[in-house]
Amino acid sequence: MLRRLALLTLSLSLAGLLAGCGLFERPQRPAWRSAADKACMARKTVAASAYVQLASAIDGPGICGLEQPLKVTALADATVTLNSTNTLNCPMTEAMEEWLRDVVQPIAMARFGQPVAQIDSMGAYSCRPIDNQRGNRLSEHSFGNAVDVGGFRLADGRAITVVKGWTRGNDQEKAFLREVQAGACNIFTTVLAPGSDPFHYNHIHLDLAMHGQTSDGPRRICKPLPSPQLMPAPKKRDMLPPAPEIEDDIDIAQAGGLPSRNAMAMGSLNFGLPPAPPPRANASPIQSAALAPPTPAAAPIAASVAGPPTALAPLSRAPAPPTPLPPSRPPGFARSERPMPPGDITGSIGARR
């Protein structure tokens, strides 16, 4: 009996030792992902419906997957459809709802006198390494924590695509896309639009990656850096080091080839936005864009002109009018419940790793 006990103890300690050495360890998905997912589900800001269906956990290959996938086909109480079923985690679904309600729709009303009725997504969940290169870190898409927005459809059916609208759209389309990008930078932790790198010429990548914390919220990466008029008021400086350059995934953007140099330059061009047209008689009362007021006195954010302003130069003569922040958020959405208060926005045009 004693001998059996001794053997058992020995084998148990041996197993513990081996596990400690990592021999039996399987790579684990970082714990913060599950915690963020659970916290989001507990907030009940995202409810299961005919348009947001609970799916079974996705586990692997590798650490890809998510505990509570949501199959999302529409947002905003089904008033905004998605062009395809997007598999997303709860935090991304919640953030998309917030972006639509507080940023996209008010800007669409101000610029076009009508709401967005559809978001054309170019991809959500997808297990793949960054740049599709073996050995690279996994993309946030691998955890259902990212969406690629290729464009929008307005209520009257008009399409506004990122690939055309960002550089070749009319003034209102260009302004709309830049404003929704700038607003996204306050909600998501990574926002990559045309001009950020050669791979995002045709969509805006949105994700909730963890880039670390600053003294006033999560560190955010926002490229190209929006015009100072569109940026939120600067926060007090922290003493933390700058956010790292991220290695973003190749995404589907690469399939269509690379954008022209001019398109890249325009992506980061810091031009004035045209004023919104006067509201229509039948327009909804929501008019002002949900963006921070301009702060002309303090302009600590460096301009991010990466190339010579050429094709769109005439646009810069019309400065955007002030777009005051709505006095308060709509009832029913308590921002303070979210784990991510608006933090400082780190943006730069840097070399891609």
- Residues near Zn ion (CB under 5 A) are 146, 148, 205, 251
Tell me the pairing of strands 146-154 and 204-207. Answer: antiparallel
d(CA 93, CA 97): 6
Angle separating helix axes 90-99 and 31-43, nearest 10 degrees = 60
Least CB distance to Zn ion at residue 298 (A): 33
CA-angle at 309, arms to 303 and 313, nearest 5°: 110
Select 107 or 130, whichever has its Cβ closest to Zn ion.
Answer: 130
Select 120 or 148, whichever has its Cβ closest to Zn ion.
Answer: 148
Least CB distance to Zn ion at residue 124 (A): 9
d(CA 230, CA 289): 10
Q: What share of the chain is helix, strand, coil (3-state, %, to 5)?
A: 30, 15, 50
- For residue 105, the Cα-to-chain-centroid distance in whole angstroms is 16
Q: What is the largest CA-CA distance in the chain?
A: 91
d(CA 95, CA 207): 9
Least CB distance to Zn ion at residue 177 (A): 16
Select 205 or 223, whichever has its Cβ closest to Zn ion.
Answer: 205
With CB atoms as reference, the residue minimizing the distance to Zn ion is 205
Q: Do 277 and 236 touch, CB atoms closer than 8 A?
A: no
Q: Of 153, 216, 149, 155, which Cα lies nearest the Cα of 184? A: 149
Least CB distance to Zn ion at residue 6 (A): 56
Least CB distance to Zn ion at residue 20 (A): 37
Least CB distance to Zn ion at residue 36 (A): 18
Tell me the pairing of strands 220-223 and 345-346. Answer: parallel
Least CB distance to Zn ion at residue 271 (A): 25
Task: Convert 85-123 into a string of H (helix), E (strand) and C (coil).
Answer: EEEECHHHHHHHHHHHHHHHHHHHHHHHCCCEEEEEEEE
User: What six digits make up the tokens of 338?
Assistant: 């979210």
Least CB distance to Zn ion at residue 43 (A): 25
Select 131 or 251, whichever has its Cβ closest to Zn ion.
Answer: 251
Q: Of 292, 258, 275, 269, which Cα lies nearest the Cα of 183? A: 292
